[in-house]
Structure 1
Amino acid sequence: MLANRFIFCGSVTLAVLVVILLATLSPLPHSNSPSKSSLALSLYIQQPQTAAIPNTHKVAPPDAGALIFHRVLTEGPKNTSRVVGKAQGFIIPVKQFAHSGFNIIYLTFDAHEYSGSVSIQAKNLEDDKKDELTVVGGTGSFAFVRGMAVLTRKDDHDTDLVVPYHIRLHLKYPNRSEIIPG
């Protein structure tokens, strides 16, 4: 009987010590650091700089099959601006496929500030000058982002220069305090 009582007291004492140790040694939540909830970026998708291809404003002829592209993503409008990543995509520029799940633009970042990718759904490519597209997710620094991408292109009829697309990203991060069931 005395042995059972000794084991019970020892178990309670051990449990209390474990709770005290866990409370004192556990890391504190990072409440002092501001939580990143949104981000705005302004970037440029450079067009190929070849003299053989005239400065056309249509991405592809209306009867084209699929447009697959691989472009450089820069900080500024000049083709000599700092490269921050790549813009790649697969778009079917036919009206019947305007709402296709295949129409996706991937922006892949490889810069000191950001590393990862942003996926943009290109379902509403209607205007040559400005399109508002939906950001449907991301990886790395952009994990699980949502938001909007505004894609614009200026006309430059006076010169033979190839004008880059300007893309403005308005990203929102999910509430990281939510617990994902699993």
Structure 2
Amino acid sequence: MRAPSLFFLAVLLVHISLQCNATTNCQLGSEKTTNLHFYLHDTLSGNDPSAVPVAHGDKFTANPGNPVPFSSVVVTDDVLTEGPDRQSKVVGNAQGLYVSSGKREFSLVLGIDFELTDGPFNGSSFVVFSRNPVLQGNGRELSIVGGRGAFRMARGYALLKTHYLDTGNGDAIIEYNVTLLHY
């Protein structure tokens, strides 16, 4: 009795697949390349921080040179702006978390959704999931692993430059140059 129902399911799936391939609604279209440039403002200090530590290991505390000690987990809702000044035009936000993953160096692993709230990509986002060796200088490369909206099925990379970093409190302004391949 089981064989006929599996056969029916297989035929149905083939039929749906053929229907999808025959209509333009199911096709992704041609691949596009988009380059983006913006500044991320990550603020751990003050009365209204955009990044808040929510967990950390027992044996590690913040110190000068590493304000986010190994094992810290930080949740973010950072502002993205057109220029490095916080008063620049807001173009989006970055929500997610990062984990301090370096025992001997200031290194983070990021899992963050970057949503654009202005311009032709308003409402679209891409996701970064990658290691960020913060003190290794400019040109750090992070992986883009997905997206939604106009950036559906995105992949690519972001090159980071530290515009400002206060190693005492962790506040930072990071310049992002992003290259996205998407449909």
TM range (shorter): 0.5 to 0.7
Corresponding residue for residue 142 of structure 1:
151
Report the Cα offset of residue 129 of structure 1. Answer: 3.2
The equivalent of 1:24 in structure 2 is none
- Residues 58 and 109 (structure 1), Cα distance of their counterparts in 2 relative to 1, 3 Å cut: farther
Partner of 1:92: 99
Structure 1 residues 49 and 93 mapped into 2: Cα distance closer, same or farther (>3 Å)?
closer
Percent of matched pairs sharing the same residue: 25
Query: Greater Rg, structure 1 or structure 2?
Result: 1
| Candidates 96, 102, 115, aligned match of 1:108 | 115
The aligned length equals 133
- 2:126 counterpart residue number: 118
Contact (CA 8 Å) 1:60, 1:93: kept in 2 or not? no
Q: Identify the residue that residue 137 of structure 2 maps to in structure 1.
A: 129
The answer as to whether partners of 1:44 and 1:165 remain within 8 angstroms in 2 is yes
**One-letter identity of the residue aligned with 2:32:** S
> Given that residues 43 and 172 in structure 2 are in contact (C-alpha distance below 8 angstroms), is that contact kept between their aligned partners in structure 1?
no
CA-based RMSD of the aligned residues comes to: 3.6
Name the structure with the higher strand share: 2
Normalising by structure 2, report the TM-score.
0.59
1:126 offset after TM fit, Å? Answer: 4.9
Query: Which residue does 2:37 correspond to in 1?
Result: 42
TM-score normalized with structure 1 length: 0.59
Deviation of 1:80 (Å): 1.2
Gaps of 5+ in 1: 1-27, 29-34, 97-101, 175-182
Q: CA deviation at 1:46?
A: 1.8
Q: 1:58 to 1:135 in 2, by over 3 A?
A: farther
Q: After superposition, give the CA deviation of every residue in 1:75-106 in whole Å (9 maximum; x if it has no partner).
A: 1111111111101231111237xxxxx73121
